[in-house]
Every structure is written in C-alpha cells, then in structure tokens.
Amino acid sequence: MKKQLISGLLIVLALSVSFSRTVKAQNSNNQNIQVKTDPVEIGKRITDHVAKKKSYRFYAMVCTYYGSLIFGDATGDSEITRQMEKGIEPYVNGKRNHRKGHVDYNVFGIWPFELYRQTGNEKYLQIGKELADDEYKNVREDGLTSYSRFWVDDMYMVGSLQVQAYKSTQEQKYLDRAALLLKIYCDSLQRENGLFYHRKDAPFFWGRGNGWAAASLTEVLLVLPKTHEHYLPLLKAYQKMMLTLKNFQGEDGMWHQLIDYPESYAETSSSGMFLYAMASGIDMGWLPFDEYKDNVTKGWDALAGYVNKKGKTKNVCIATNAKNSEKHYLKRWKLTGDYHGQAAVLWAATAMVELLDNYN
C-alpha cells in the first residue's frame, strides 16, 4: 500500500512538472475584456463535431485533436479527454499505424504527448517520444533535423512536436531543438515587416503559413526561459510579427488569404492562429493590453461568426503547397469544416478562455 501511495505521488509530481509554463502577466489594473460570443460555446460546438468523426493521422486532424485537448483542459471538460483517448486507441493497440519520416507525419506526436500530460498514461508518452526522437536521428551541420524543408509550415510541425516533448519530459534537448529551429527559420524566412514567406522562392505572405509561424513562436515562448539564448530574438520576432498583423487586420476583424492583399478572401485558419498568438501575448504580457485588446475582441467575434451551427468552420483555405505564383494563392479553394480551420479556431478559443479568465 505504501509503495502504491509513493508511486501515485510521483505521478502527480511528474504531471505537475510537465504542466510548467511561463508565469502569466498579472492583471493589477482591473483591466477588462468583453466579447459578444462565448469562446466556450464555439469551442464546444467544434469539439462535439470532431468527436463524431472517425479519427485519422492526417496532420491537420492531429492539430485539431490537440486543440480539442487543450480546449478541454482550459474549460475543465474531461469528457473531451475521454473522446480523444478513444480516437487514438487504434494507434496505440496497433490496429492502425501512424507514420514517420516527414514533418507532417511526425507531428502526430503532439496528440499523444498532450494525452500523457493530461492522464499520466505512459503508453502515450512512448509514442510521442518515438516521433520526437525520430525527427532528430539525423541532424544537419546547423543543428536542424534532416527533415527540414525551409517551408514556414515546418516551424509548427517540428517546433510544436519538440516543445511538447519538452513539456512532457522536461528534457532540455527538446526545448533547445525547438528554439534553434525557430531562430534559424526566422533568420531565413521572416522579412523586415515581421511577416514570413511561405518559402524563399515563394515570396508571398500566405495567411496560414504565417499562422503556423505565429502559433509555433507562441508555443515555444510559453515555456522558453527568459535566460535562454534564443528567448529575446524569438520574442522580438514574435512582437514584430504581431505589430504588422495588427495593422493588416481587416475592418471586419479578419485576416486574409494573402495578408497584404485586402482584396483576397477572409480566411479563417490564419485568423484563428493569429488570434491564438495575439491573445496569448496579451495574457503573458508580451503585448501591451491597451494596444491589442480591441484587435483580439474584434477578431474573435468575427471568427466565431464563421462557425456554423453544426460546428464546422467556413472559409478555410485548402491544403496549399508553396509556389512562386500570386495567382496560386489567390485562387485556392475555400472549404467548410476543413480541419486546418477547426484546429485554428480551437486554439483561438482556448487562448480566449484563458485571457477572459485573467481579465474579467
């Protein structure tokens, strides 16, 4: 009995460590944020829709499952955890296989990592670690994974997996990998205005590509110590990006398929990712409350209007390869219910729930 109690305490201790996060900014001035649409309602609408669908290993779906889990954690909805455990079970018991060997495959690991952090079940940790370690079994001379393509998407696909590995294990190597990759990608793809090219030879500020960058910077900064060698460069890259995004936000609160092309369509996956980054920035004190509050509230209320009663997000850009063609981006189809959008809205809803908790 004594041995069981000690084991239980060790699990609780391990989980409390794995939940480590940079301390939030203190709302000492009684500042207040109000939105017209409850993020809990919108997030629940999407998680209910997602739970009814058969799970799959596609990266956008995995990002949605991760979004469901963090939303459930923020709102105290343990039923979502149970649903996500049910979805991953075929990949745990061997009935289905996850893939590895590509950034879009290995990001599958963020799903079991988050399940491990919420449940303490070691079987999830093993899957996540396998994928995080596989990504760095062959390392380039610059310290990056050999899977690096220098697409802006890589910042999230690699960065998020490695940072989730760090959060679950507290092993410094994972955090160092994520921070280094983001620093090198910022140096390569971020322009003077703070926005990112999709790829060096695709010199356009594609909405969702920049969303991946914004989300990855946020994920890493949430746990990166201020004393880390890459903290200040990444914080400056993040703040520079947020300032430009603030200025390119449409009057309706949305961001567009090509960020600097206001005539391009309002796009929900990018808008959700930007809101996740911006709301987190206010909450953590990286961005001034008074300067960004209105952008976040206007943006959230606009984005929420694109989620229909069935929990499906409208105006989501279809999966998009990098190409040196303006027309390529402007002509991409808009979908309803595509998981790129479902994930992004869940991330945004989670950040809004946490922000409203701190500022109300």
Q: How far apart are CA 318 and CA 338, in angstroms?
A: 8
pLDDT for res 62:
99
Considering the domain boundaries, does residue 30 fall inside one? no
pLDDT for res 3:
38
Beta bridge partner(s), residue 139: 145
Of 281, 305, 310, give the one whose Cα is nearest residue 293.
281
Considering the domain boundaries, does residue 19 fall inside one? no
Helices (H), 19-153: 39-51, 59-75, 78-92, 103-106, 110-119, 122-135
Q: Check if the beta carbon of residue 182 is closer than 8 Å to that of residue 154.
A: no
Considering the domain boundaries, does residue 118 fall inside one? yes
Considering the domain boundaries, does residue 16 fall inside one? no
pLDDT for res 39:
99
Residue 317 gets which letter from DSSP? E
pLDDT for res 21:
55
Q: How far apart are CA 287 and CA 216, in angstroms?
A: 17
pLDDT for res 77:
98
Domain CATH number, residue 176: 1.50.10.10
Considering the domain boundaries, does residue 286 fall inside one? yes
pLDDT for res 20:
47
pLDDT for res 28:
62
Of 83, 58, 87, give the one whose Cα is nearest residue 71.
83
Of 159, 297, 306, give the one whose Cα is nearest residue 221.
159
Q: Check if the beta carbon of residue 48 is closer than 8 Å to that of residue 307.
A: no
Considering the domain boundaries, does residue 20 fall inside one? no
Of 144, 154, 87, give the one whose Cα is nearest residue 115.
87
Considering the domain boundaries, does residue 175 fall inside one? yes
Structural domain of 116: 37-358
Considering the domain boundaries, does residue 75 fall inside one? yes
pLDDT for res 30:
76
Q: Check if the beta carbon of residue 267 is closer than 8 Å to that of residue 315.
A: yes
- Structural domain tally of the chain? 1
Q: List per-residue pLDDT tens for the chain, 360 residues long.
A: 433 433 444 444 444 444 445 667 667 677 899 999 999 999 999 999 999 999 999 999 999 999 999 999 999 999 999 999 999 999 999 999 999 999 999 999 999 999 999 999 999 999 999 999 999 999 999 999 999 999 999 999 999 999 999 999 999 999 999 999 999 999 999 999 999 999 999 999 999 999 999 999 999 999 999 999 999 999 999 999 999 999 999 999 999 999 999 999 999 999 999 999 999 999 999 999 999 999 999 999 999 999 999 999 999 999 999 999 999 999 999 999 999 999 999 999 999 999 999 998
